[in-house]
Structure 1
Amino acid sequence: MKLERYGHGGDLATATEAYGLPQESWLDYSSNMNPWGPPEIVGELMKEHWRDVAKYPDPAVRRLRAKLSETYRIPAESILVGNGAAELIDLVVRVFKPEETVLARPSFSEYEEAVLKAGGRTRSVLLREERMFELANAREFASGAVFLGHPNNPTGRLIPAHVLDELREAGSRMIIDEAFMDFVPDEEELSYIRRASESEQIQVIRSMTKFYAIPGIRLGFMVAHPDLIRRLAEAQTAWSVNFLAQLVGEAVLDERAYAERTKTWLLEERPWLSGELRSLGLVVYPSDVNFLLVSLAGLEGWNVGRLQRAMAGRGILIRDASLFEGLNDSYFRIAIRLRPDNERLIKELKECLR
């Protein structure tokens, strides 16, 4: 049974069906969540406000939009909150219906799925392994619409500023997925969020589930010109953002110590884990975020399917990255977790690869 049968990592129910281990026993490296878990305030709010689920949520998500406006210093009229980034990816394509959308491959599969469901077509431009999967120039991407991960999934690479500027100057509609931008130390400088609030050419999608480890809540937001936000809001399903999601989203934005701890931890843990993986003979590509793209190239007799099965037998889930167009069966992706988990990962990998 393929562990990514629904197209994503983190599917503990499928892993349990395939291997018989209870969900709570898995060490999940296939899903790129903050390993510190949700901030404590999330549990406190749920305990305190569980009776309030008897009320309808605010359909305009006013308090959370105001908080996002204050946090990012952009107008509330430029913000649309959604049921996770996935809803917003689907919504922006469904509303604007670009005839052709250019995708940098490998990239998040939901970009293409959204385009095809809306009746559009995609054109792929491959990111080169010899360039460490960095998007080096904009010439190949000039088109009516471009969908880009910034940082990209599964490669973990940011898009160089000059490439984004060149695409903007070329007149392309830029849909920029910044789901992992919170993990980047220079987030404020590198994000396109403020440009999007003023331009009809740029739309930025952000996730709140990865950084704050609340994927079960489903929460994200989009930033665009107010005129575009109004069009998107008209097409959005009513009450798609539930009461608890709105409440939690508002609270976690104040968790400054949590955010600083996460960024400080990652700056230390990413190079440590990368070095340990390289010591096993694996190829580890540069990453700007909380996950790593790794290749088994050079290890005779190994492919990702064999490694995934072997590691699952040891209670550890890794992501089969060959499912991303542009990558072959030597690639896998792993999240970066806390040191004790990472030490166990290295120990189990070492035993498997022997």
Structure 2
Amino acid sequence: MSAQGAAPGDALRHHGDAEVRGAGSGLTDLAVNVRTGTPPAWLRKRLAASLTTLAAYPDGTAARRAVAGRHGLRADQVLLTAGAAEAFVLLARAVPARRPVVVHPQFTEPEAALRDAGHQVERVLLRPEAGFRLETDAVPPDADLVVVGNPTNPTSVLHPATALAGLARAGRTLVVDEAFVDAVPGERESLVPLLGQLPGRTVVLRSLTKTWGLAGLRVGYVLSDPETVRALAHQQPLWPVSAPALVAAQACSTPEALAEAQQAARQFAADRGYLREQLSQLRASGVREATPQPEGPFLLVEHPRAAALRERLRELGFAVRRGDTFPGLGQKWFRMAVRDRETTDRFMAALHKALEILETPQTPQTPQTPETPDVTGER
């Protein structure tokens, strides 16, 4: 694990949707980590009904109270945002930082937002040989802003809440991106129960994109102390979250919705176990999982020729997410979403075929020589 600075590059703005954009309907999407079959019918119905209210300016009071109640917090500890991605921009603008640090590999938007706001960002790179586990002593003691994902995209590592709490200290803002924690049964290792109990400032980010299939609606929220919430809200434009997005935030905070999310999390765990079992049979072909105990709805996979393997898979109808745009990874990595067993079976058949193609020696083409005319007229 090491701390270092690096130039941002366009790679920070590359996301999984780029792997399938314009690809046509025949490509099975394993590049984007949104639960399939979403939004559910009941949520689509609620969203459709909200369209009758579009003449009025959106009021987030009810949605903010619903989210606060869902987490056992006060309404003034909640800020609704246009997706968790907006929260990274707000933090970069509102939170003063002399030495901001982002723990990588992880979602790249936090670093991109900080750099866009003029910050000089340092990186702490988690080591693949250690299973990308967090080692808190690698974070510089004087870092006054630290960003980490949990479970982390793309490694699928779920860091212990005690380890994350160990990063909190006076004078530091600790930001934990929990966009995927609702895909973990019981939301284990969430830092939300510790809000208000840790030194310094703690900020937890959540998203409704992944479990509920609302990437196009843009809805997420910040959980923190009231002072931080006010500072971030001051950076937002008027009416930053649309009326349908507010309806979604309220609807997805009900006990019934939370029960459905937990059932989906348990299904993810079962489907992930099946996918891991299938992948384990390909170790002799160089396919290796990156994380000893993945907990997210996606897996990080290593192969010496991952870039070529991705292209072969694409030709066979499957899109996976390239790994080399994540700081700390390279071209031998790719990320894939966990899907149902039928999709996994189809993917594994394609993966076997792609590996066979890569492992088949290419026969050199013999140069064609011009035929010598037969002066005798015979052949």
Is the structural similarity TM-score above 0.5? yes
Instruction: Give the partner amino acid of 1:352.
Output: A
Q: Return closer, same or farther for 1:197/1:65 CA change in 2, 3 Å cut-off.
A: farther
CA drift of 1:191 comes to 1.4
Q: After superposing the two structures, state which structure 1 stretch, 173-182 or 46-55, moved more.
A: 46-55
Which residue does the alignment assign to 1:324? 326
CA drift of 1:74 comes to 0.4
SS in 2 for 1:210: helix
CA distance in 2, matches of 1:242, 1:325: 33
CA distance in 1, matches of 2:346, 2:334: 17
Give a deviation string over 1:147-172, Cα, whole Å, max 9, x none. 11111111111222332232114653
SS in 1 for 2:21: helix
For structure 1, the 5+ residue unaligned runs are 17-21
Which residue does the alignment assign to 1:242? 242
The answer to whether the 8 Å contact 1:80/1:229 transfers is yes
Q: Return closer, same or farther for 1:97/1:276 CA change in 2, 3 Å cut-off.
A: same
Which residue does the alignment assign to 1:287? 294
1:124 aligns with 2:123: yes
**RMSD of aligned Cα (Å):** 1.9
Q: Return closer, same or farther for 1:292/1:141 CA change in 2, 3 Å cut-off.
A: farther
CA drift of 1:6 comes to 5.0
Which residue does the alignment assign to 2:48? 47
Which residue does the alignment assign to 1:14? 21
CA distance in 1, matches of 2:33, 2:20: 17
Q: Return closer, same or farther for 1:181/1:260 CA change in 2, 3 Å cut-off.
A: closer
Which residue does the alignment assign to 1:19? none
The answer to whether the 8 Å contact 1:97/1:118 transfers is no
Matched length? 337
1:340 aligns with 2:342: yes
SS in 1 for 2:168: helix
CA distance in 2, matches of 1:100, 1:5: 20
CA drift of 1:52 comes to 2.2
Which residue does the alignment assign to 2:6? none
CA distance in 2, matches of 1:230, 1:252: 24
SS in 2 for 1:49: helix
Give a deviation string over 1:279-323, Cα, whole Å, max 9, x none. 1221112311100000004xxxx2x32122222222211000111
CA distance in 2, matches of 1:36, 1:339: 14
CA distance in 2, matches of 1:100, 1:153: 23
Which residue does the alignment assign to 1:183? 183
The answer to whether the 8 Å contact 1:147/1:174 transfers is yes
SS in 1 for 2:239: coil
For structure 2, the 5+ residue unaligned runs are 1-10, 357-379
1:56 aligns with 2:61: no
Q: Which has the higher helix share?
A: 1
The answer to whether the 8 Å contact 2:30/2:318 transfers is yes
Give a deviation string over 1:137-192, Cα, whole Å, max 9, x none. 334343111011111111111222332232114653201111111111231x5211
CA distance in 1, matches of 2:95, 2:334: 34
1:264 pairs with one of 258, 261, 266: 266
Q: Return closer, same or farther for 1:289/1:163 CA change in 2, 3 Å cut-off.
A: same
Q: Moved runs in structure 1, 4+ residues, more than 6 A?
A: none
CA drift of 1:12 comes to 6.3
Which residue does the alignment assign to 2:28? 27
Instruction: Give the partner amino acid of 1:334.
Output: M
SS in 2 for 1:214: coil
The answer to whether the 8 Å contact 1:290/1:336 transfers is yes
CA distance in 2, matches of 1:141, 1:63: 41
CA drift of 1:13 comes to 6.2
Which residue does the alignment assign to 2:38? 37
Percent identical: 29
SS in 2 for 1:179: coil
TM-score by length of 2: 0.84
SS in 1 for 2:68: helix
The answer to whether the 8 Å contact 2:12/2:326 transfers is no
SS in 1 for 2:102: strand
Which residue does the alignment assign to 1:352? 354
